[in-house]
């Protein structure tokens, strides 16, 4: 009981038995998930009891992309749940390292997890690089992943692709044109530097590997790149998203 009180478990955490019931799995399955990094438990000491954050369990039960979408369009703006909020690039990089570690424990992706980490890193870094000092309301990113569903969701409430690119390409007419440029051209306000390669890299990795797909939204446009395809499927979105939001499937 002393250990329970120290971690403030009464209000914020679940026992392994409570978490197993909510998730509909056995206690042995949760122990195995903890050991292989799929769903980490919280302990005060190495051989102590396992406890689980309520926020983490709730997020695990949700559709992470739906959660990301809801946050991006929320009005008035609200902070994301702490389990998936990266207020600055340092927090983002720390959680990116955690993703890489968790992926490295999964046999199915042991040969491709560095590529997954790389494209997630490029998308996240874009958010911080292009909105530095210009966040419209909430700074930082939403970053959540579900290894069981093989999904990673990223989102920001930044300026969006069109507004960012119009600083150097004022002739761009709409969000669809901006997305095409972002994923196909090197754009820089510091010629002759080859800056702005992040989303081009993401496209190249997905095009070169029949392993990933991505949905990417910014403003009123959406883009989809399928496994191993060179094609950019860009359309008008039914919802206008401030900033950017993406779903990576692997």
- For residue range 44-70, list pLDDT tens digits in order: 666 688 999 887 788 778 889 999 999
Distance from chain centroid for Cα 119: 10
Average pLDDT taken over every residue of the chain? 88
The pLDDT value recorded for residue 7 is 46
Which residues, 6 or more positions from 78, have their beta carbon under 8 angstroms from its beta carbon? 71, 138
- pLDDT band, very low/low/confident/very high, at 188 (cuts 50, 70, 90): low
Does the 63-249 domain belong in CATH 3.40.630? no
Mean per-residue pLDDT, 202-227: 93
Joined together, the tokens standing for residue 91 give: 């927090």
d(CA 68, CA 87): 15
Predicted structure pTM score: 0.77
Summarised one tens digit per residue, pLDDT across range 2-48 is 333 444 445 688 999 999 998 888 999 999 888 877 788 888 666 68
Q: Is the pLDDT of residue 198 over 90?
A: no
The strands making up 233-249's β-sheet, listed across from edge to edge, are 85-86, 141-146, 151-156, 233-249, 213-225
Q: What is the pLDDT of residue 152?
A: 97
Spatial separation of the C-alpha atoms in residues 115 and 182, rounded to whole Å: 20
Q: Which CATH class is domain 2-60?
A: mainly alpha
Q: What is the pLDDT of residue 23?
A: 86
Give domain limits for the chain. Answer: 2-60, 63-249
**What does each C-alpha distance from 163 to 58, 63, 244 come to in angstroms?**
35, 29, 12
């Amino acid at each position: 009981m002393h250990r329970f009180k120290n971690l403030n478990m009464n209000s914020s955490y679940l026992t392994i038995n409570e978490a197993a019931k909510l998730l509909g799995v056995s206690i042995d399955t949760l122990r195995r998930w903890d050991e292989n990094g799929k769903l980490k438990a919280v302990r005060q000491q190495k051989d102590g009891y396992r406890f689980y954050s309520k926020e983490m369990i709730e997020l695990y039960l949700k559709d992470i992309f739906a959660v990301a979408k809801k946050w991006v369009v929320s009005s008035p703006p609200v902070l994301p749940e702490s389990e998936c909020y990266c207020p600055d690039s340092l927090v983002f990089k720390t959680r990116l390292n955690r993703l890489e570690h968790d992926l490295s424990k999964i046999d199915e992706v042991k040969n491709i997890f560095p590529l997954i980490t790389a494209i997630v890193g490029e998308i996240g870094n874009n958010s911080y690089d292009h909105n530095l000092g210009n966040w419209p309301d909430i700074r930082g990113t939403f970053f959540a992943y579900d290894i069981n569903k093989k999904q990673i969701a990223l989102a920001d409430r930044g300026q969006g692709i069109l507004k960012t690119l119009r600083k150097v390409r004022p002739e761009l007419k709409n969000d669809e044109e901006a997305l095409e440029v972002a994923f196909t051209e090197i754009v820089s306000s510091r010629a002759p530097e080859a800056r702005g390669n992040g989303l081009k890299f993401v496209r190249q990795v997905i095009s070169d590997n029949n392993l990933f797909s991505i949905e990417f939204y910014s403003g009123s446009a959406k883009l989809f790149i399928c496994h191993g395809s060179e094609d950019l499927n860009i359309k008008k979105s039914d919802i206008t998203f401030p900033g950017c939001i993406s779903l990576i499937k692997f």
